Amino acid sequence: MATWLDRTDFARYALIPEELLPAWEGSEADDVIDEYVSALRMAGRDILTLGAEPLSVTWLAEPLTFARWCYADDDTGLLPAVHAATTADGWKDILSLELGGRYVLADAAYEAGRILGSLRDAQQPAEALRVELSPGRYRVQSLIIDPDPRTQFMLERLMPE
C-alpha cells in the first residue's frame, strides 16, 4: 500500500525543492490553484504543482508517477494499473520543467514549519512525502485510469527528456 497525503484543503500540492522548503510561506502557488498541473519558479528552481481538486495523492518512485485518488475501495490494484498504463494511448503532454535532487510533496498552502513538522513526526498521518529525482528535464504527462468500474485514479508521470 502506498502512503497517501489525505486530501488538501486548498486543492493544490507543490513539489518543493528541499533546500527551498525553509523559506516556503504557503502562498507561492496561489496563482495556479485552478490548474490540474502547473509549474512556478522560486529562487531559480521549477516547482511542480498539482491542483484543481482536493484529491488524495501519492508518489510512486519506480514509475516516476504521482497518483491522485478519484474513487476506489482501496489502492491494492494501483501499481499494476499504473504499470499497465505506461504503454496506453491517451497520455496528454502538459508541460516540461527542470527537476533534480531532493523534494518534498506537500499541500501548497502549508507553511514550512508545518511541512517540516510532518516530516519529523512519524506518529501523525503523513502531510508530506519525500521525492528524489535525477537531475534533468522532465515532460509531465497526465492520464486518468479506470482499472475497473469502481476505481479511478488521475496520474501525472514524469518522463525524462
Say how far apart CA 72 and CA 150 lie, in whole Å: 6
Q: What is the pLDDT of residue 8?
A: 66
Report helix, strand and coil shares of the chain as percent, to nearest 5. Answer: 15, 50, 35
Each residue of 34-83: pLDDT tens digit? 789 999 999 999 999 998 888 999 999 999 999 999 999 999 999 999 99
The mean pLDDT value of the chain amounts to 92
Predicted local confidence at residue 59, as pLDDT: 97
Q: Name the 3-class secondary structure at 134.
A: strand
The pLDDT > 90 percentage for the chain reads 78
Measured CA to CA, the distance from residue 115 to residue 107 in angstroms comes to 8
pLDDT average, residue stretch 106-134: 89
Q: Does the structure show a pLDDT above 70 at 7?
A: no
For the segment 109-133, the average pLDDT, to the nearest whole number, is 89
CA distances from 75 to 4, 131, 156 (A): 10, 20, 16
Is residue 127 over pLDDT 70?
yes
Mean pLDDT across the stretch 9-18? 88
Question: Radius of gyration of the chain from Cα atoms?
Answer: 15
- pTM, full prediction: 0.93
pLDDT of residue 2: 84
pLDDT at residue 132, as a whole number? 97
Question: What pLDDT is recorded for position 16?
Answer: 97
Asked whether residue 125 carries a pLDDT value surpassing 80, the answer given is no
Q: Hey, is 30 helix, strand or coil? A: helix
**Please, which residues bridge with residue 134 across strands?**
none
Lowest model confidence (mean pLDDT) among 75-84, 86-95, 120-129, 138-147 = 120-129
SS (H, E, C) 77-119: CHHHHHHHHCCCCCCEEEEEEEEEEEEEEEECCCCHHHHHHHH
